[in-house]
Structure 1
């Protein structure tokens, strides 16, 4: 299962629409969740319409939260999306096998068996979460909370039985015009996060749509890299991203 988890505090203002980009992600099997981060003095509707539209187009969840709620929200959204993805797949199978549209339409004994399977898959299915972090200037005061939320997410994912990996991207990418940059390759450990965030310079515009497209390309390249690795006995010719 593949997710993009976008953490931002405002509206995009450069490049392709993030709603269009999120719809493109969903068409490639990548769910887009969005967390809008608010300071105490920011109105709840700040950036909210776009944030909700991005998540809707990406088949994911959206929340507007305060800094103190960020870590819990990130964990909840990640796990809830996993279960939703699995349940949607199971419902399609039920339609084909039993002619029913959902679990609720099954007899009680069958329903309990299916629920147990869904719970097990939720804990054992491989999961990849690409964290896409808004590092525009207005996010500067919020980055400590973002760092802590990512660390807590990684600890939560490590408790799963299945493989769980995160990768971290920032946007804008640099002072030299890059719209997005990968700052942490796939990992199952949060050990490198403190030094990672210490090096990030807050700056510039908010190219949310191009950043989402960049992560979609990264997922494509990662799949290509894994296919190559299988064909060459585990040897990989170059870095992804």
Structure 2
């Protein structure tokens, strides 16, 4: 089971629409969940609207976070996205197995529903899961970086607490070019070093959310075929998460 967890303040301004990109991810069996870290005012409202549309198109969930709610809300959101992604897939597969026209598990008869829920709870803990974390590193996100790091730390704990195999990959955008996406961490089960990725994050102006989502989709698809190189620059280079300075 694969998902993209996007952390952004919305208002993309470079390249293809992130709503179109999220819809494409959903067609490829990849759920797109969005944590919106927005400010007050008209710009924040525009960002929040885009965030909701991205999550809807990607078959995921969204949560809008105000500055004073960042830590608690993002921690809750990261846990719920993991659980909901699994439940969505399991619910769809179980409906096919049961040959039922019920649109939700809640529509099943009580006895059958109880048995299905028990299976879902077990699969939630034991199914393999891959989360591609996609971080908006545009200039407007700079004041929110600490909250993003706390969210990742909570996601790490959530994945490590599961019984099933869990892997995470980390990306940020933009890189040197206005539409570039940088891979900071390839799929791994060792999440101990993720926090260090934020120590020298270089924030830039543009917000190419749509192209970034497409790039992560390509990464996931290529990985399925056993590939490993899509031309990403990674954390070993001087720019991006491990750059020499913050602007």
When the two structures are superposed, what TM-score results if normalisation uses the length of structure 2? 0.84
Change in Cα spacing, 1:178 to 1:100, as seen in structure 2 (3 Å) is closer
> What's the offset of the Cα at 1:16?
0.5
**2:198 is matched with which residue?**
197
Question: What are the within-5 Å matches in structure 2 for residues 124-139 of structure 1?
Answer: 124-139=126-141
Equivalence for 2:245 = none
1:93 has 2:97 as partner: yes
* Deviation per residue, 1:140-185 (Å, 9 max, x gap): 111111111111111111111111111111011x224452111111
**Alpha-carbon separation, structure 2, partners of 1:99 and 1:5:** 30
SS of structure 1 residue aligned to 2:11: coil
Rounded to whole Å, the distance in 2 between the matches of 1:117 and 1:184 is 33
Structure 1 residues 24-49: Cα deviation after superposition (integer angstroms, max 9, x where no partner): 1000000001111135x557624111
Q: Note the residue ranges of structure 2 that are not aligned, 5 or more in a row.
A: 233-247
Rounded Cα–Cα distance in structure 1 between residues aligned with 2:20 and 2:189: 30
Q: Is the 8 A contact 2:8 2:37 kept in 1?
A: yes
Any residues of structure 2 matched to 1:3-14 within 5 Å, and which? 3-14=3-14
How far, CA to CA, are the matches of 2:108 and 2:30 in structure 1? 29
- Deviation larger for 78-87 or 100-109: 100-109
> How many residue pairs get matched?
226
CA distance in 2 between counterparts of 1:13 and 1:135 reads 13
Q: Deviations over 1:182-240 (max 9, x none)?
A: 111112232112221113200120000000000000001111117xxxxxxxxxxx656
Instruction: Rate the CA distance shift 1:32–1:101 in 2: closer, same or farther, 3 A.
Output: closer
Comparing 50-59 with 62-71, greater Cα deviation is found at 62-71
Distance 1:26 1:33 in 2: 11
1:159 equivalent to 2:161? Answer yes
Q: How does 1:78-227 map to 2 (within 5 A)?
A: 78-94=82-98, 96=99, 100-172=102-174, 174-225=175-226
Tell me, in whole angstroms, the C-alpha distance in 1 between the residues paired with 2:17 and 2:197: 28
- The whole-number CA distance in structure 2 between the counterparts of 1:102 and 1:36 is 27
Which segment drifts farther, 83-92 or 19-28? 83-92
Unpaired segments ≥5 residues, structure 1:
227-237
Asked if the contact 1:61/1:81 (under 8 Å) is kept, the reply is: no
Change in Cα spacing, 1:71 to 1:105, as seen in structure 2 (3 Å) is: closer
Contact 2:179 2:211 in 1 (8 A): no
